[in-house]
Amino acid sequence: MSEANSCIPPPLSAKNKNSFAYPTMKDRIPVILSKIVDYMNRNREKIAEDHGGEAGREELKIMIGAMSQLRYEVMTNKPAAPLQDSRADAKIWNAELNKEVAKHNGNSLKWFDSAWLWMECYLYRRIYEASLLSNKLKGFDVFLEQKQAAFLNSYKAISSLTMYLLNALEDLDITTLELNRTQYFTEFLQVSLWGNKCDLSISAGNDNHQEHCPLEQLTKLKPNLLIDNTDVVYQVLTKALEKRNGQPGLVDIILDNAGFELVTDLCLAEFLIASGLVAKIHFHVKAIPWFVSDVTEQDFTWTLKQMSAMNHLAISKLSQKWKNYLQHGSWVISVSDFWTLPNDYSQMKELYPDLYSDLSTADLIIFKGDLNYRKLVGDLQWSSTTDFSFSLRGFHPAPLCVLRTLKSDVVVGMQPGQAEEVETKDKNWMTTGAWAVISVDNGVVSDS
Ligand SMILES: O=P(O)(O)OC[C@@]1(O)O[C@H](CO)[C@@H](O)[C@@H]1O
Ligand SMILES: [Mn+2]
């Protein structure tokens, strides 16, 4: 069967009270908005001092009012209003809003009635609108404090992970044993996967830093890895290497959260370079503050700056190495507004063809986290046994994999009966980040 529209299910929505979309709209998002108001109230003197004094204080009051208004709109299911700020993406957002309204016979988009993905992305763009409509507070990141605290509170885990990485690099230098390289690849890929448990939006902003080094936990976490295509991911890289007679290529990493998860991604990236599997890494960050803990370029550079100032051999040595990579171009930070639009990835080729063709030059694209997973599969109500490649609905820029801990009620690629079995073990298996998948698409789409 081709990818005909007839077998494309409807999107997840809060109109279905059994979906995680419902408690997200009803409880989690109001809490996230209240936390922003609390943060701004608690720090109003410091924020005003750093942003224009009295004028900043007045604007802060307006921003706090805007957050309270937004919270009221969500809780009372008001229609989504066009964006009022003049950032370039506002035009695309408002055009997309009109398209969605037209698709629904002129009915407004509403928080508890419309597609969860669209409304949740719209929420974070509305939060940023409040700062864009300011003057002294223009571009203010209301999540900065939470992201930085999450990093600083993960020091112990970052310390043990970076020391382990340095030992692995020495080991790699000495041994050319392919077995070692495969073993380390598996470890660093899965450390990056489980780093995704640390996201502040799932915890509605409560600090959920990484307490222990995940390396020790990998064996314990293995049973919770529901789909493990690690071997296929490794083969994609080694086949690309062979095709180029041993010349390493490019990997794109679509990042997710700042804090500990970013450090696990940088450690994976370091291993990919040091192992000779890859020569260049493009890191895709968010252009605006997003889903509480997603990485912006400011977060990325702040993290390296913090690491290089730490009195810790492994942390400072690696961060210096990574700053050099950025200086000499083997690591590149990429920013595109596409990642902070409401569109799922099947629409990238049409909406952002340049980004799609850039991604097509990669040997492998690594997508991190739950929101990226939802945008890959369209946040649609797929059966859990739907083929992963089929669920991409034509999005095949290059071989890709997704490292995702489950935090929303959509999953594909599982075996018949597997979802039912997990359900008996943990009724919240789809929404707590305790279970995970590593899924890969190398462009071969089977009927589903
Ligand atoms: O992409 P991430 O950081 O892994 O998770 C994003 C997230 O926290 O936000 C949505 C629920 O509000 C879900 O997609 C998921 O829980
Ligand atoms: Mn995130």
194 ligand 1 Cβ < 6 A: no
The pair phi, psi for residue 20, each rounded to 5°, is -60, -20
Q: How confident is the model at residue 171 (pLDDT cuts 50, 70, 90)?
A: confident
Q: How confident is the model at residue 6 (pLDDT cuts 50, 70, 90)?
A: low
Whole-number Å distance, alpha carbon 142 to ligand 2 midpoint, is 15
370 ligand 1 Cβ < 6 A: yes
Whole-number Å distance, alpha carbon 290 to ligand 2 midpoint, is 7
374 ligand 1 Cβ < 6 A: yes
* Separation of alpha carbons 145 and 130, rounded Å: 18
> What strand order describes the sheet that includes 400-405?
225-228, 436-441, 400-405, 364-368, 249-254, 278-285, 331-335
- How does pLDDT run across 212-247, given as a tens digit for each residue? 666 778 888 999 999 999 999 999 999 999 999 999
Atom 3 of ligand 1 has which residue's CA nearest to it?
Answer: 199
Atom 2 of ligand 1 has which residue's CA nearest to it?
Answer: 370
Atom 14 of ligand 1 has which residue's CA nearest to it?
Answer: 371
Share of the chain above pLDDT 70, in %: 92
Position in ligand 1 atom list of the atom nearest CA 405 = 4
Question: Are 41 and 64 contacting, i.e. CB atoms less than 8 angstroms apart?
Answer: yes
Q: Write down the mean pLDDT value for the chain.
A: 94
pLDDT of amino acid 3: 47
CA-closest candidate to residue 200, choices 251, 148, 133: 148
* Separation of alpha carbons 278 and 271, rounded Å: 9
369 ligand 1 Cβ < 6 A: yes
pLDDT of amino acid 267: 98
Whole-number Å distance, alpha carbon 64 to ligand 1 midpoint, is 24
Q: How confident is the model at residue 173 (pLDDT cuts 50, 70, 90)?
A: confident
Name the residue with higher pLDDT: 122 or 443: 122
Residue with token string 């929505």: 13
Mean pLDDT over residues 64-78, rounded? 98
Question: Are 30 and 38 contacting, i.e. CB atoms less than 8 angstroms apart?
Answer: no
Task: Assign 334 to helix, strand or coil.
Answer: strand
Mean pLDDT over residues 104-116, rounded? 97
Q: How confident is the model at residue 280 (pLDDT cuts 50, 70, 90)?
A: very high
Share of the chain above pLDDT 90, in %: 88
Is the pLDDT at 2 greater than 50, yes or no? no
**Partners of residue 110 on adjacent β-strands:** 79
Residue to probe by mutation, ligand 1, list 111, 371, 432, 437, most atoms within 8 Å of CB: 371
Handedness of CA 422, 425, 428, 431 (dihedral sign): negative
* Separation of alpha carbons 236 and 368, rounded Å: 17
- How does pLDDT run across 333-354, given as a tens digit for each residue? 999 999 999 999 999 999 999 9
151 ligand 1 Cβ < 6 A: no
Question: Are 345 and 290 contacting, i.e. CB atoms less than 8 angstroms apart?
Answer: no
371 ligand 1 Cβ < 6 A: yes
* Separation of alpha carbons 270 and 170, rounded Å: 13
Atom 15 of ligand 1 has which residue's CA nearest to it?
Answer: 407
pLDDT of amino acid 1: 41
pLDDT of amino acid 422: 98
What interhelical angle do 29-42 and 144-152 show, nearest 10?
Answer: 90
407 ligand 1 Cβ < 6 A: yes
Task: Assign 332 to helix, strand or coil.
Answer: strand
CA-closest candidate to residue 109, choices 71, 77, 141: 77
Is the pLDDT at 4 greater than 60, yes or no? no
Is the pLDDT at 23 greater than 60, yes or no? yes
CA-closest candidate to residue 194, choices 222, 219, 214: 214
Mean pLDDT over residues 193-215, rounded? 71
408 ligand 1 Cβ < 6 A: yes
Question: Are 90 and 83 contacting, i.e. CB atoms less than 8 angstroms apart?
Answer: yes
Is the pLDDT at 297 greater than 80, yes or no? yes
CA-closest candidate to residue 281, choices 237, 239, 340: 237
Is the pLDDT at 71 greater than 70, yes or no? yes
Whole-number Å distance, alpha carbon 196 to ligand 1 midpoint, is 10
Whole-number Å distance, alpha carbon 202 to ligand 1 midpoint, is 6
Ligand nearest to the CA of 285: 2
* Separation of alpha carbons 96 and 82, rounded Å: 10
196 ligand 1 Cβ < 6 A: yes
Which amino acid is present at 299?
D
Residue to probe by mutation, ligand 1, list 74, 201, 206, most atoms within 8 Å of CB: 201
Burial class (CB in 10 A: 0-12, 13-18, 19+), 254: buried
* H-helix segments, 7-115: 21-23, 29-42, 44-50, 53-75, 89-103
Mean pLDDT over residues 14-36, rounded? 97
* Separation of alpha carbons 422 and 435, rounded Å: 9
Residue with token string 């409509």: 133
Is the pLDDT at 396 greater than 90, yes or no? yes
What interhelical angle do 178-194 and 260-274 show, nearest 10?
Answer: 160
Whole-number Å distance, alpha carbon 85 to ligand 2 midpoint, is 24
202 ligand 1 Cβ < 6 A: yes
Mean pLDDT over residues 169-188, rounded? 82
343: left (phi over 0), alpha (psi -120 to 50) or beta: beta
| Contact partners, residue 151, CB within 8 Å, separation at least 6 | 158, 209, 258, 259, 260, 262, 263, 303, 306
What interhelical angle do 116-132 and 53-75 show, nearest 10?
Answer: 160
Mean pLDDT over residues 75-93, rounded? 98
Ligand nearest to the CA of 370: 1
Q: How confident is the model at residue 35 (pLDDT cuts 50, 70, 90)?
A: very high
